[in-house]
Chain A
Amino acid sequence: MIKPLQAIARLGHHALASMSRIGLATRFFLATLLRSGVAFRRFNLTIRETYFAGVLSLIIILVSGLFVGMVLGLQGYETLQTYGSESALGVLVALSLVRELGPVVAALLFASRAGSAITAEIGLMKATEQLAAMEMMAVDPIARVVAPRFWAGVISMPLLAALFSAMGIFGGYLVGVVLIGVDEGSFWSQMQAQVDFQEDILNGVIKSVVFGVAVTAIALFEGYDAPPTAEGVSRATTRTVVTSSLAILALDFVLTAFMFRGVG
């Protein structure tokens, strides 16, 4: 075959391959939703996975939240004081955490801390033929292994994001009020006057639920779809972190465009 035709054929091959992968991922996601009855009937399975995905991510989430809030306090104070409005520091810290940084950074950390672990675990289960063995014993691996992990991720993510935001606001308070000496009253009162429950906090929670679904679904699919070799599992783990980080940032843009467009 001539060269340009070969290039076009290769392009077509890649297009078909990626389309079929998207189709597989969608079918896998739907199957997980349809067979998640076990995850609720035998809730201790989900609780166990919540421990691994949520509780063990707590340290990194809390420490990062504290530092992100402290940096926001420092940087925000530097900028605001040039305009003589350092009393708005509380608003700055709270709004940026509750609207954006809380859900997004917590989801990025969750993807690299828990998502990669889920992919590696399921990939190894597949490589060591544990999933095939389950099927031999008439145990559905999607219901028994995948669905509890999915729901554990969906439950953990909003809680982790809320803890991240709360910790960040505490960090901003530490730096702004305790260290620099911004007036404590105006820090909290301006924050309360400007942050709305539905507009800001509830939308942040919705964001983190969406991120939780996306990250966990990507991690589970990559693990389930990994080639059953050491190299395949390592590649799948890398792909989980990269794909879910990109998905988080892209989804964040779309959700923000819908949620905060009309708010002045």
Chain B
Amino acid sequence: MKPAPFDWQAPETVEAALALKSVHGDGARFIAGGQSLVPAMNFRVAQPGVLIDLSRVAGLDSLAWSPDGSLRIGAMVRYRAIERDAEVARHLPLILEALAEVAHPQIRTRGTLGGNLCHADPASEMPAVMLALQARMEVRGPGGTRILPAADFFLGPLTTALAEDEMLAAIMVPPLPAGAGTAFLELARRRGDYAMMGVAAVLRRDGAGRCAEARLAFCSAGPTPMAAPGAAALLVGTALAAADIAAAAEAAKAEIEPMGSVQASPAYQRHLAGVLAARALTLAAERAA
């Protein structure tokens, strides 16, 4: 399990990185934390001819808050930096709750949010979380910068909307609506494994305590992170009572397309989606002011 040979490039600017990618095309891969790419290379499932290391590119590794409360996470920010950031814990606890389920500290030391999102594994937690948080992707290419909503970024298993000559520069997470409650729950065979099913829930109540906004997003539930807008819509206007949540959780099961794995049959995954959605919504409802 040794990787095939490749050339190593370690540019120091985004422009240089993009230029290298333009030159080498799809024979080249960007490497961020490498925690998904290197195992694939060790198995020789991935054999890029050129690796473009982003770790020395200036400006990709910072967390920055805007005055409007949105968070800009540079594509090379390591998971450990995010999970240790007190402000993230305070304002975006959903990220923290989900990060605790992402592999193990040894992986999070090196792993980056940007690399994870570009890897676009539908079983991964963070794409679903970014969907639930309505994050926007700052994509850099030779033609400049474009912004993609998370919903448009993930196209299929291990497939994103990034063109061959583009890279993800940052993830912009808008502030949660005031008083919103969030929850992330998953069931994995072992802690740190990819989930058999996972769900991120965001709920906001209006002044009367009724649900004003609901979002649900699942991982391991289809070819991409899967939102369940129909189920979420059912909740709006309800008091978020147990029966309301149960109905939404049931509806969500019809909106996902679990594909099954050696760990879980599609039928069991769908069953889990209902169970976990109900539990996550209940938690989020309790947490919503």
A and B together in one complex: no
